[in-house]
Structure 1
Amino acid sequence: MSSREDETLARAAVAALTGQLALAPKPGLPDPRDLGVPARQDHRTLRWSAKALAPGLAAMAAAARRTGEPTPRLRAELGAIGRSTEHTVGLAGGGHRGALWILGFLVAAAAIAPRAEAAEVTAVAKRIAAHTERGAPRRPSRGSSISAKYGAAGARGEARAGFPHVRRASDALAAARSAGATEEQARLDALLTVMSTLQDTELLYAAGPVGLRHVQAGARAVLEAGGTATGAGQEALHALDADLDARGWSPRGSAGLLAGALFLDALPVTAPLPVTSPLPAA
């Protein structure tokens, strides 16, 4: 059974994911504009199914807190919980597979190292991901097949490297805020920072290496124009958004990594104090 601390970490992770979903415009990604388009209900479904991650993430945090260190046994337990959670999320509408694993590793690391700085949390997550999961399905996933085909790091490589793109997004958040950007602008700049260099296996599957480079160049163009806090950056953002919408390309891997950065940004999170009854009068 998970503790209040584990449930608090899980809620913070879900809040990071729904915070990412709330951003707009996100080039090629579901956002609140979908709610007004009858043919595009993806955003509403994703927002609803995000809540279904909470029990699994709390169980991952509980397993990590109970184990206390990044062991092969913990890696196997996280894998089993993750696959069960994928099934639950599927019943709630689906989606978030990549975000589940990103947030799962980070939540587990945060449970092992409470009150740690973000860099330490990603270092612990790296040590968890370094272990081979013995109970993993032998059939390769689409992402792992694409990773092998193109030499891309993929989700597994990102975790084993200590989530470099999560760290890059965190740095971009801090830089944009320091420059006076609004919170939404800072988060969009962080998303574009990830998109500009990530070897997104979803994009490689849909568009191949040429399409991936096209999206990376478009994201860089927004940042080089000054980011979303500038007029030129906004113009480049809307052009990229229209382009990806027309092509049907979606950089979904970047969205999950931004959610990871937003989770780290919320740390440390603490469980609310229990409500106590006042002492009786003497």
Structure 2
Amino acid sequence: MDIDKLVSCATKALVVEVSLYPKPGLVDPVDSGAHQDMDYITFMESCFALIPGFKIYIETGMNHQGDLKELFNLIREIGMENESRMFSATENVNTHKGANFMFGIILAAIGYLDNPTLLELQDAIKTMTAGLVDNELKDLQEYRTHGEKMFQLYGYTGIRGEVESGIPHAFNVGYPILAKKDRSFDTRLKHALLAIMASNDDANMLKRGGYKGLQTGKEWSRKAYDNLNQHLSEMNAKFIEDNLSPGGSADLLAVSIFLYYYQKEIIEKNNR
């Protein structure tokens, strides 16, 4: 297994996501969207701070002798250490907490299964995280974290529900658009982001704008337009005005990009 290549694919996915422009309410090389506490450089610092953990996720999966559920428990501990690296690099700004969580699961599963197909990988993620929502949200007496509060208020299961379902917004929404190769990669990335936003119950949108803000984002993502970049720029202006940012959808786009690179640069090359 080419660990360095896998780490490169993961890092590149994060860099490509934040470098995409224009985007609605999100950090890019031109502006910081609806964010006051971070910019493009903050994200670059975060991307590269996560690299050591990416390698450890893969190696942990490769060396694990137990089952996938046990591997998930191991990865969560390692994930907290990688999250600390992120916060150290960004001066305690949350840039990639959700992405780090998802990449930890994905990379560990790839290491464990030795370069699985995308279908095998998605099935492994479901097995690793089975019961996560019930175990961590259903019987709570106190709702402390943002994800817990969103479950309490709206019944949304957030990133826990996403991974337990096999990260469908990446595997089944974002990745197929990127893989189609019918338009430029830049255009496909933007279409993938809009498609993810249109159906994702983004916890960050809920946090910033409540249910109304989430629905506003979904409606804008489904709107007809004549010019894609103009539409995204108009969305950005609206999201900045309303203090909205689809950060969860951005993380899911980053995972979609990783799946694209993983399939293209590792799976397809191994099969030649």
Q: Could you tell me the TM-score, scaled by structure 1's length?
A: 0.82
Letter in 2 for 1:58: K
Give the Å deviation of 1:101. 0.9
In 1: Cα distance, 2:131 partner to 2:81 partner: 20
User: Matches of 2:8 and 2:250 in 1, distance apart?
Assistant: 18
Q: Decide whether aligned partners of structure 1 residues 68 and 163 sit closer, same or farther in structure 2, where only a CA change above 3 A counts.
A: farther
> Which structure 2 residues correspond to residues 220-259 of structure 1 after superposition, within 5 A?
220-221=222-223, 224-225=224-225, 231-259=226-254
Cα separation, 2, equivalents of 1:139 and 1:71: 28
User: What residue in structure 2 maps to residue 276 of structure 1?
Assistant: none
* Matching residue of 1:172: 177
Pair 40,144 (structure 1): closer, same or farther in 2 beyond 3 Å: closer
- Contact 1:72–1:132 (8 Å) recurs in 2: no
Q: For residues 38 and 96 of structure 2, what CA distance do their matches in structure 1 show?
A: 15
User: What CA distance in whole angstroms lies between the structure 2 residues aligned with 1:186 and 1:57?
Assistant: 26
How far did 1:10 drift?
A: 2.1
**Counterpart among 86, 90, 93 of residue 89 in structure 1:** 86
What is the aligned partner in structure 1 of residue 53 from structure 2?
Answer: 56
- Unaligned segments of structure 2, at least 5 residues: 137-141, 267-272
Measure the CA separation in 2 of the matches of 1:157 and 1:87. 24
Relative to structure 1, the CA distance from residue 204 to residue 197 in structure 2 (aligned partners, 3 Å threshold; closer, same or farther) is same
- CA offsets 1:187-235 (integer angstroms, 9 cap, x no match): 01101110111001111111011110000010111xx43xxxxx43333
Identity %: 27
* Equivalent-residue separation in structure 2 for 1:115 and 1:90 (angstroms): 30
Q: 1:203 aligns with which of 202, 205, 214?
A: 205
Q: Is the 8 A contact 1:202 1:253 kept in 2?
A: yes
Q: Per-residue CA shift, 1:130-172, capped at 9, x if unaligned?
A: 265999xx98421232133211130010000001100210112
More helix by share: 2
Q: Superposition RMSD on alpha carbons, in Å?
A: 2.4
Larger Cα-atom Rg: 1
Cα deviation for residue 62 of structure 1 reads 1.0
Query: Contact (CA 8 Å) 2:109, 2:124: kept in 1 or not?
Result: yes
* Structure 2 residue aligned with 1:192: 194
Distance 1:8 1:140 in 2: 38
What is the CA–CA distance in structure 2 between the aligned matches of 1:73 and 1:64, rounded to whole Å? 10
Cα offset for 1:128? Answer: 1.2
Contact 1:108 1:125 (C-alpha < 8 Å) held by counterparts: no
**Equivalent residue of 2:31, what SS?**
helix
Residue of structure 1 in register with 2:139 after alignment: none
What does residue 184 of structure 2 align with?
182
SS at match of 1:121: helix
**Kept after mapping to 2: 8 A contact 1:61/1:108:** yes
* 1:215 corresponds to which of 214, 217, 231: 217
Q: How does 1:259-270 map to 2 (within 5 A)?
A: 259-268=254-263, 269=265
Q: Distance in 1 between matches of 2:88 and 2:120?
A: 35
Deviations 1:13-43 (A, max 9, x none): 11111110110001000001038xxx77511
- Please tell me whether the aligned partners of residues 174 and 196 of structure 2 are also in contact (alpha carbons under 8 angstroms): yes
**Counterpart position of 2:270:** none
Q: Indicate if the aligned counterparts of 1:125 and 1:159 stay in contact, CA closer than 8 A.
A: yes
TM-score after normalising by structure 2: 0.85
Which amino acid counterpart does residue 18 of structure 1 have in structure 2? V
SS at match of 1:145: helix
Q: Give CA-to-partner distance per residue, 1:28-86, whole Å, 9 cap, x none.
A: 00001038xxx775111111111111111111111111126643321111010001111
The count of residues paired between Structure 1 and Structure 2 equals 252
C-alpha distance in 1 between matches for 2:22 and 2:55: 31
Hey, what's the Cα distance between the residues in 2 that align with 1:40 and 1:73?
A: 36
Taking a change above 3 Å as real, the CA distance of residues 132 and 193 of structure 1, as seen in their structure-2 partners, is closer
Deviations 1:62-120 (A, max 9, x none): 11111266433211110100011111110000420011011111111222233332222
